[in-house]
A and B are shown apart, each in its own frame.
Chain A
């Protein structure tokens, strides 16, 4: 099969022209791309420089690594160094600074840390290290939660005694509700995350349209992103407000019901701490009592992860909320760079500060 080409240059140029045309009659348009992968792609394409002056793309809190509390990182490092647990994680978390340490630093002190590309590999690692407690750092948004749920169910089915899951899953819509309540942001619409939508579908975003914020579920190829921007701009021009799906080849209106069902067999919704933003009600997941045996916080009697201390002068909180652009932070590019990050938005490669630094403001 030859894929339909979603990066064709001439169509891209056509769409850019039409975005310019569609936005002509509009004032300042402020679109938030919620997803960190969008932020990365927009930077990688050099798209900001190609858009009309009156279209601003604001980066949202959609980098799961950036919103993972610093105290979570410290606690994970502590599990490895004080309890001798083997930490299994996605590569994204390795360089994220906690409050006092990072996993990279813990590793240089001898902590056992394995980098994996799937939670299922944590099960294999647990079997290979039967004499050691193995902890999987279970982070991510809705796209990732079904995988975590299945891994926990598999661990239960296989009766793995030495594996547990340290969960810091977040869910997207509650964070968007907080953002749109912040009138200071003056958002005009949303570029919604395509892969999160592949799981949760279209309806959870309806409140955006109801509150006059046209939004497009958007994929990640160049034409996808341009399509998202054009569709929202076109709705603004016609004073329409709806949730449109520009990524129907992957995201179905109803999402993925099988995956959703699985998630809620293993997890329940709970309040969650977003680094730099604070505690948001009903915005995260925690393991249900049925699978409580696999909850690392219970197994290691860990305290609450509710300390969201930020480094002094770091504006990641405002950046994550889209209140300021990364370049407006006093630390940006001077004392805070990707090789010497102060805040979480700089350290994760999809964090908005890192994306701005990498790809130019």
Chain B
């Protein structure tokens, strides 16, 4: 059975990778692309800039810990931050479904604007389209952003080296579990709240403490497993994680065992992975732990020479197993 049409599973993880490599990229950039970073970095006289864009579709539009507006602000801010760029300008484009309430729209947009204001970002331009009832799920948002890369900083998913340490900025899986709990048919409520947050202050603190930082990636869709896969592949190395070191909040553990999902596959909107030379790992962790949403930051593994599997996990009982790239849309299972 060969797939010739878009499936939901093409929206994240392995499915997304396949869609990009077989259809999107060959058509958009026939000459081939280099490494796909979170943002594109380029030089103008006297300045190094980063440019990125992101689209937001989430159901429901509002959830504990945030809404589509906070996601739209943080998504673009975080993509720029991961390249070491201070976010400066943002565009905001809306696709609205006929019948959408003004009040809700205003509430969502003011969340977006408050986050931008708190980061000193100017919302510079935008666009609004309205489509027929039924043609969109209430509200879709696209944001794009430009940032100025910190002087002396050079980050890339290709820079991880054997011996480096892998740091995660906090407990994983809270955003994904929050959203899953909103899906009526899964029939559970969760005390989890989305971790959605702008990461620039955290990223800057890490870069100030450890300018030698090699890679930063926010662990959004596909979770920590997907970003580490991308880093390992782009850097032509493997990453070994220590299962017992990975901070997984109990509420995420509980939800994952109920749904039969792997916490490493669950999305985050305010957590990132950092790769630094091993000697600097403590400094990076200390710089992060100053922030309330990074108090659980820690080293979760290290980089090794390229192995058969990009990401490996040392299990609690001493075994080793590969960490799978999430296959696409996460499905709850009973088996």
A residues within 8 Å of B by Cβ? 7, 9, 12-13, 16, 36-37, 43-50, 63-65, 90-92, 94-95, 97, 100-102, 104-105, 107-108, 114-118, 121, 125, 140, 144, 222, 226, 338-339, 348-350, 358-360
B residues within 8 Å of A by Cβ? 1, 3, 5-9, 14-15, 18, 185-188, 244, 258-260, 308-309, 313, 315-322, 324, 327-328, 331-335
A104, closest chain B residue (CB): B7
Decide: A349 near B333, CB < 8 A? Known: A9-B317, A44-B315, A339-B18.
yes
Tell me the complex Cα distance, A43–B317, Å: 12
Tell me the complex Cα distance, A44–B320, Å: 9
Decide: A92 near B322, CB < 8 A? Known: A102-B1, A105-B1.
no
Contact status A360-B309, CB under 8 Å: yes
**Nearest Cβ distance between residue B90 and chain A, in whole angstroms?**
33
Decide: A358 near B322, CB < 8 A? Known: A50-B317, A348-B335.
yes
**Nearest Cβ distance between residue B81 and chain A, in whole angstroms?**
31
Contact status A91-B331, CB under 8 Å: yes
**Nearest Cβ distance between residue B232 and chain A, in whole angstroms?**
15
**Nearest Cβ distance between residue B277 and chain A, in whole angstroms?**
28
Contact status B331-A94, CB under 8 Å: yes
Contact status B333-A91, CB under 8 Å: yes
Query: What are the residues of chain B within 8 A of A44 when measuring CB–CB?
Result: 315, 321
- With beta carbons under 8 angstroms apart, the residue of A43, A92, A125 that contacts B331 is A92
Decide: A118 near B321, CB < 8 A? Known: A9-B316, A107-B8.
no
Query: What are the residues of chain A within 8 A of B15 when measuring CB–CB?
Result: 339
Contact status A46-B315, CB under 8 Å: yes
Decide: A12 near B316, CB < 8 A? Known: A95-B9, A338-B327.
yes
- With beta carbons under 8 angstroms apart, the residue of A37, A45, A102 that contacts B321 is A45
Query: Which 5 A-B residue pairings sit nearest by Cβ, starting from the closest?
Result: A46-B319, A91-B331, A46-B321, A12-B317, A91-B332
**Nearest Cβ distance between residue A347 and chain B, in whole angstroms?**
10
- With beta carbons under 8 angstroms apart, the residue of B8, B259, B308, B335 that contacts A64 is B335
Tell me the complex Cα distance, A7–B244, Å: 11
Query: What are the residues of chain B within 8 A of A9 when measuring CB–CB?
Result: 244, 316-318
- With beta carbons under 8 angstroms apart, the residue of B18, B324, B335 that contacts A37 is B335
Decide: A118 near B187, CB < 8 A? Known: A16-B317, A140-B334.
yes
Tell me the complex Cα distance, A358–B326, Å: 10
Tell me the complex Cα distance, A308–B61, Å: 44
Contact status B6-A108, CB under 8 Å: yes
Tell me the complex Cα distance, A44–B266, Å: 17
Decide: A13 near B185, CB < 8 A? Known: A90-B333, A91-B331.
no
Tell me the complex Cα distance, A259–B317, Å: 35
Contact status B320-A13, CB under 8 Å: no
**Nearest Cβ distance between residue A109 and chain B, in whole angstroms?**
8
Contact status A116-B315, CB under 8 Å: no
Tell me the complex Cα distance, A65–B335, Å: 9
Decide: A101 near B315, CB < 8 A? Known: A91-B332, A140-B334, A348-B335.
no
**Nearest Cβ distance between residue A142 and chain B, in whole angstroms?**
13
Query: What are the residues of chain B within 8 A of A114 when measuring CB–CB?
Result: 185
Tell me the complex Cα distance, A259–B99, Å: 49
Query: What are the residues of chain A within 8 A of B322 when measuring CB–CB?
Result: 358-360
Contact status B316-A92, CB under 8 Å: no
Contact status B317-A13, CB under 8 Å: yes
Query: What are the residues of chain A within 8 A of B185 when measuring CB–CB?
Result: 114-117, 121, 125
Query: What are the residues of chain B within 8 A of A100 when measuring CB–CB?
Result: 1
| 7 further A-B pairs in the complex, CB-CB below 8 A; given A49-B320, A360-B309 | A9-B318, A43-B321, A47-B317, A50-B317, A91-B331, A115-B186, A125-B185
A37, closest chain B residue (CB): B335
Query: What are the residues of chain A within 8 A of B318 when measuring CB–CB?
Result: 9, 12-13, 16, 46, 50
**Nearest Cβ distance between residue B244 and chain A, in whole angstroms?**
8
Query: What are the residues of chain A within 8 A of B14 when measuring CB–CB?
Result: 338-339
Query: What are the residues of chain A within 8 A of B319 when measuring CB–CB?
Result: 45-50
Tell me the complex Cα distance, A116–B5, Å: 25
Decide: A36 near B335, CB < 8 A? Known: A9-B316, A49-B319, A108-B6.
yes
Q: Could you list some 19 contacts between A and B, CB below 8 A?
A: A7-B317, A13-B317, A45-B319, A63-B335, A90-B332, A91-B332, A91-B333, A104-B9, A105-B3, A105-B5, A108-B7, A116-B185, A117-B187, A117-B334, A121-B185, A140-B334, A339-B327, A348-B335, A359-B321
**Nearest Cβ distance between residue A57 and chain B, in whole angstroms?**
13
Query: What are the residues of chain A within 8 A of B186 when measuring CB–CB?
Result: 115-117
Tell me the complex Cα distance, A12–B318, Å: 9
Query: What are the residues of chain A within 8 A of B315 when measuring CB–CB?
Result: 44-46
A51, closest chain B residue (CB): B319
Query: What are the residues of chain B within 8 A of A50 when measuring CB–CB?
Result: 317-319
A144, closest chain B residue (CB): B334
B259, closest chain A residue (CB): A117
Taking each of A37, A46, A101, A338, which has the highest tally of chain B beta carbons within 10 Å of its own beta carbon? A46
Tell me the complex Cα distance, A347–B327, Å: 10
Contact status B7-A105, CB under 8 Å: yes
**Nearest Cβ distance between residue A154 and chain B, in whole angstroms?**
15
Query: What are the residues of chain B within 8 A of A117 when measuring CB–CB?
Result: 185-188, 258-259, 332, 334
Decide: A46 near B335, CB < 8 A? Known: A102-B1, A121-B187, A360-B309.
no
Taking each of B185, B315, B335, which has the highest tally of chain A beta carbons within 10 Å of its own beta carbon? B335
Query: What are the residues of chain B within 8 A of A115 when measuring CB–CB?
Result: 185-186, 331-332
Tell me the complex Cα distance, A340–B24, Å: 19
**Nearest Cβ distance between residue B15 and chain A, in whole angstroms?**
7
A107, closest chain B residue (CB): B8
Query: What are the residues of chain B within 8 A of A226 when measuring CB–CB?
Result: 317
Contact status B8-A95, CB under 8 Å: no
Decide: A116 near B335, CB < 8 A? Known: A47-B319, A339-B328.
no
**Nearest Cβ distance between residue A175 and chain B, in whole angstroms?**
15
Decide: A95 near B331, CB < 8 A? Known: A45-B315, A108-B7, A360-B309.
yes
**Nearest Cβ distance between residue A356 and chain B, in whole angstroms?**
11
A222, closest chain B residue (CB): B317
B185, closest chain A residue (CB): A116
**Nearest Cβ distance between residue A49 and chain B, in whole angstroms?**
6
- With beta carbons under 8 angstroms apart, the residue of A16, A108, A125 that contacts B5 is A108
Tell me the complex Cα distance, A114–B331, Å: 11
Query: What are the residues of chain B within 8 A of A339 when measuring CB–CB?
Result: 14-15, 18, 327-328
